[in-house]
Amino acid sequence: MIRLGNMLVSPGEGGVYGERTLDGYRVWDPYRSKLAALYTLGGGVELTPEMRVLYLGAANGTTVSHVADYVETVYAVEFAPRPMQDLLEVARRRKNIVSIMADANRPDEYAPFMEAVDLLYQDVAQPNQVEIAMKNIVFLKPGGHLILMLKTRSVDVRQDPAEVLAGARAGLEQRLNIADVRWLEPYHHDHAAIVCTLRE
Q: How far apart are CA 85 and CA 155, in angstroms?
A: 27
Per the domain annotation, does 2 fall within a domain?
A: no
Per the domain annotation, does 49 fall within a domain?
A: yes
Per the domain annotation, does 104 fall within a domain?
A: yes
The vertex-35 CA angle with 34 and 41, nearest 5°, equals: 90
Domain residues for 79? 30-198
Per the domain annotation, does 11 fall within a domain?
A: no
Q: Break the chain down into helix, strand, coil percent, rounded to 5.
A: 30, 30, 40
pLDDT of the residue at 14: 83
pLDDT band at residue 159 using 50, 70 and 90 as cut-offs: confident
Contacts 24+ apart (CB under 8 A), 17-23: 17/60, 17/62, 17/65
The domain spanning residue 106 has which CATH number? 3.40.50.150
How many percent of the chain have pLDDT more than 90? 80
pLDDT band at residue 84 using 50, 70 and 90 as cut-offs: very high
Instruction: Summarize the annotated binding site for S-adenosyl-L-methionine as residue ranges.
Output: 62-63, 78-79, 103-104, 123-126
Instruction: Summarize the annotated binding site as residue ranges.
Output: 62-63, 78-79, 103-104, 123-126
Q: Does 155 have pLDDT greater than 90?
A: no
Cα separations in angstroms, 156 against 25, 153, 159: 39, 5, 6
Over residues 169-177, the mean pLDDT reads 91
Over residues 46-75, the mean pLDDT reads 96
* Count of structural domains, the chain: 1
